[in-house]
Amino acid sequence: MRRFTPALALSLLLLGGCASVTDAPSLARRPAEAIDPRLPIVDVSAALPADPALAAALRRVAGPAFAQASAVDAAIARADALAGSAGTPGSESWISAQQALSAAVAAQAPVTRAMGDFDAAVSDRIRSGARLVPQDLAAVRAIAADLAALDRRQRAALAAVQAKLAR
């Protein structure tokens, strides 16, 4: 009898697993399964109007960079002229050219700041959950491209002046 007790306990345990489950999930089709995944998704966002306030706000953020551009160009031109006539490294004229280059780099700071503020404004808009329609994205890309072109041009000019002084 002792040999049959563990077998009896095991069979009772196995039979308990055969009990019916009343709260099991349904195997019926869900509404989402009725949608044909091969159907194309129509993008109607191009028809949505752009937000004029967004473009205006982004132009205001980028404005200081473009407003300062002529002053930066003048500072770079001054540094370039001094670098062209600079003597050997350590001479008075070379030091003066280095100081002019530092002033030009400092004058270019509003461009760098505007680029960061622009990125922050766009990311804040995205994080807020506000919609960005294709026309808004086109405005964002256009202003970002203009800022990047200005920054690239000024940085190239600064690098050229620095190369003159490094000779």
Threshold 0.85, pTM exceeds: no
Q: Tokens 């049959």 belong to which residue?
A: 4
Answer whether residue 1 shows pLDDT above 60: no
Residue 32 is predicted with a pLDDT of 83
Poorest-pLDDT segment among 4-8, 21-25, 66-70, 161-165: 4-8
Per-domain residue ranges of the chain: 48-165
Give the model confidence (pLDDT) of 49-100 as tens digits. 888 888 899 999 999 999 999 999 999 999 999 999 999 999 999 999 999 9
Residue 2 is predicted with a pLDDT of 56
Residue 141 is predicted with a pLDDT of 93
Poorest-pLDDT segment among 2-11, 25-34, 55-64, 152-161: 2-11
Poorest-pLDDT segment among 17-21, 43-47, 50-54, 135-139: 17-21
Higher pLDDT, 155 or 54: 155
Distance CA 6, CA 2 (A): 8
Model confidence at 46, in pLDDT bands (50, 70, 90)?
confident
